[in-house]
Amino acid sequence: MDTNSFREEDFSSVPAAERALIERRQRLLGGAYRLFYRKPVHLVRGRGQYLWDAEGHRYLDVYNNVASIGHSHPHVIEAVTRQMSSLNTHTRYMHETILDYSERIMATMPSPVDRAMYMCTGSEANDLAVRVARLYTGGRGIIVTREAYHGTSELTSGLSPALGSGQRLSPEARTVAAPDPYRHGAEDLGHRFALELQAQIDDLRRAGVGFAAFLADSIFSSDGVLPNEPGMLREAIDLVHANGGIFIADEVQPGFARTGESFWGFQRHGLVPDLVTTGKPMGNGIPVSGLFGRNEVLQAFSDQVPYFNTFGGNPVAMAAAQAVLDVIEDEDLQRHAQEVGCRFLEALRGVAREHPDVVGDVRGAGLFVGFELVRDAESRQPDKSLALDLIEELRNRFVLTSVAGPFGNVLKLRPPLPFSAEDVMWVADALDESLTALGH
């Protein structure tokens, strides 16, 4: 999470106007906030998949899934403005919008998922999901992947190894390596992953901790973007249930048509989660999130604990969420993600063929692609330094992205869904030019 942050040693190379802004940020916001890039970008406007800086340069956003249907989408703006002009209040009063949305979003999910709860952020959704899992199963142990990111609350930060070594893992958590066919081979990968899950469940039990849930993002975003073959996770989830646990599908990143093959990431693997969590892409950046689940699972919580999130599911947030579904349907963005995503993979694999010694793997599903950098093709040794230099070169060519994975060597390419065929070539050309400029 901190690998491509602006550092103090880069301060002298930043123009005077930006230096003043950075100093002001540090004085007012403190050290916890991080800026991207050695030369940070000062953005002032966004539209679709494009962003503009204070000097008028246009950038291609290849990182921001929060503005899932594009920055400043007029349909979302109009829906939010209209609802804000009439009413915004909490869920202790009756209002149709939250019910209309709930019916509509759950129609996209497997039928056993038939209840909804609403919050403002993905962290809150995952926090509540873990609380529900613990009440339902009677266990406390949660298993996540080794580079997972699931939130910033006290509970979820302890389940988010991606936050770095400064963030301690919960003593009731265990981690498994994400299934990575490039590094570990594709043969029997699903079976090997299930065995590793079982080993961690057994370790929890030896420590006197009952197993509650496996919490995972099915494309393993922070682990380096690992979509895997469809169906690969089924054995693991069967094992979770056989051990009395539940599966929480964190859909903040792979959900809402991003993978192209399906509306939800878990659907690529033919899975029926017990709980599904969503985050801000649900409202195109408006603070709204959801927890969707099987009634019998959620009842374990709701029968004992009244839940009230003051502005979770408020009419304005629900209007934004409805508008996002409108746009995904009206603009046929799931099909678009599939078709343009295929072109994207093809173009990036073309770049890899031009730079075979340093581009180890290109993988993805829809508009979610991982581009892995290595020191050489034979050893497959991760090259974090090259990845960091590469994103700086891309920034200089007005392409914005970041890195992921346990070694910090995978470019995480995840643009807003309107990303076009022309944008594909912009990224491919920028990657080719940047790698050449770096001597590769």
383 occurs within a structural domain: yes
Q: Is 131 exposed, middle or buried (0-12, 13-18, 19+ CB in 10 A)?
A: middle
276 occurs within a structural domain: yes
Q: pLDDT (tens digit, 9 = 90+) per residue, 216-225?
A: 999 999 999 9
Question: How many domains does the chain divide into?
Answer: 2
For residue 145, which of 46, 226, 76, 205 has the smallest C-alpha distance? 226
Q: What is the pLDDT of residue 381?
A: 97
Residues 89 and 223 in one domain: yes
Domain limit, last residue, from 307, 330, 353: 330
Distances from the Cα of 208 to the Cαs of 135, 205, 241, in angstroms? 17, 5, 19
190 occurs within a structural domain: yes
**Does residue 2 surpass a pLDDT of 70?**
no
Residues 401 and 272 in one domain: no
Residues 84 and 232 in one domain: yes
Confidence of residue 237 (pLDDT cuts 50, 70, 90): very high
CA 345 from centroid of its chain's CA atoms: 19
Residues 289 and 363 in one domain: no
- CA dist 24 and 234 (Å) reads 50
Instruction: Calculate the dihedral angle through the C-alpha atoms of 276, 219, 410, 14, rounding to the nearest 10 degrees.
Output: -30
Length of the chain: 440
Residues 200 and 219 in one domain: yes
Distances from the Cα of 252 to the Cαs of 113, 115, 396, in angstroms? 17, 18, 29
If one compares 165 and 437, the residue with the highest pLDDT of the two is: 437
53 occurs within a structural domain: no
If one compares 165 and 440, the residue with the highest pLDDT of the two is: 440
Here the tokens at position 75 are: 């349909």
Residue numbers of the domain that contains 414: 332-437
- Give the amino acid at 409: N
Domain limit, last residue, from 295, 330, 365: 330
If one compares 20 and 274, the residue with the highest pLDDT of the two is: 274
Average pLDDT of the residues of the chain:
95
Residues 348 and 242 in one domain: no
Residues 278 and 379 in one domain: no
Mean pLDDT of all residues in 171-178: 98
**Does residue 369 surpass a pLDDT of 90?**
yes
Under DSSP, the state recorded for 170 is P
Q: What is the pLDDT of residue 205?
A: 98
Confidence of residue 34 (pLDDT cuts 50, 70, 90): confident
Mean pLDDT of all residues in 137-161: 97
67 occurs within a structural domain: no
Query: Quick check: 239 and 194 in contact, CB under 8 A?
Result: yes
**320 sits in which H/E element:** helix 315-330
Contacts of 104 (CB under 8 A, 6+ apart): 322, 325
**Does residue 6 surpass a pLDDT of 60?**
yes
Q: What is the pLDDT of residue 243?
A: 98
Q: pLDDT (tens digit, 9 = 90+) per residue, 40-89?
A: 899 999 999 999 999 999 999 999 999 999 999 999 999 999 999 999 99
Helices (H), 357-411: 384-396
DSSP string covering 69-125, please? T-BT-HHHHHHHHHHHTT----TTS--HHHHHHHHHHHTTS-TTEEEEEEESSHHHH
Residues 400 and 347 in one domain: yes
Domain limit, last residue, from 283, 315, 330: 330
Q: Tell me the CATH number at 359.
A: 3.90.1150.10
Q: pLDDT (tens digit, 9 = 90+) per residue, 198-213?
A: 999 999 999 999 999 9
Burial code (b: 16+ CB inside 10 Å, e: under 16) for 203-240 equals ebeeeebbbbbbbbbbbbbbbbbbbbeeebbebbbebb
- CA dist 316 and 77 (Å) reads 11
Q: pLDDT (tens digit, 9 = 90+) per residue, 289-343?
A: 999 999 999 999 998 988 889 999 999 999 999 999 999 999 999 999 999 999 9
Sheet (strand 113-119) strand order: 113-119, 289-294, 275-278, 246-250, 211-216, 141-145, 173-176
For residue 160, which of 146, 177, 139 has the smallest C-alpha distance? 146
Q: What is the pLDDT of residue 9?
A: 66
Residues 227 and 148 in one domain: yes
Distances from the Cα of 360 to the Cαs of 343, 357, 373, 382, 399, in angstroms? 19, 7, 6, 9, 21
**412 sits in which H/E element:** strand 410-413
Here the tokens at position 215 are: 């919490």
52 occurs within a structural domain: no
Q: Tell me the CATH number at 233.
A: 3.40.640.10
Residues 128 and 190 in one domain: yes
Q: What is the pLDDT of residue 25?
A: 84
Confidence of residue 1 (pLDDT cuts 50, 70, 90): low
Confidence of residue 39 (pLDDT cuts 50, 70, 90): confident
What ranges make up the beta strands (E) of 105-196? 113-119, 141-145, 173-176
Mean pLDDT of all residues in 126-143: 98
Query: Quick check: 122 and 279 in contact, CB under 8 A?
Result: yes
45 occurs within a structural domain: no
Residues 178 and 139 in one domain: yes
- CA dist 365 and 167 (Å) reads 30
302 occurs within a structural domain: yes
Q: Is the full-model pTM beyond 0.85?
A: yes
- CA dist 332 and 328 (Å) reads 6
Residues 361 and 274 in one domain: no
Q: What is the pLDDT of residue 128?
A: 98
- CA dist 147 and 416 (Å) reads 23
Q: Percentage of the chain surpassing pLDDT 90?
A: 87
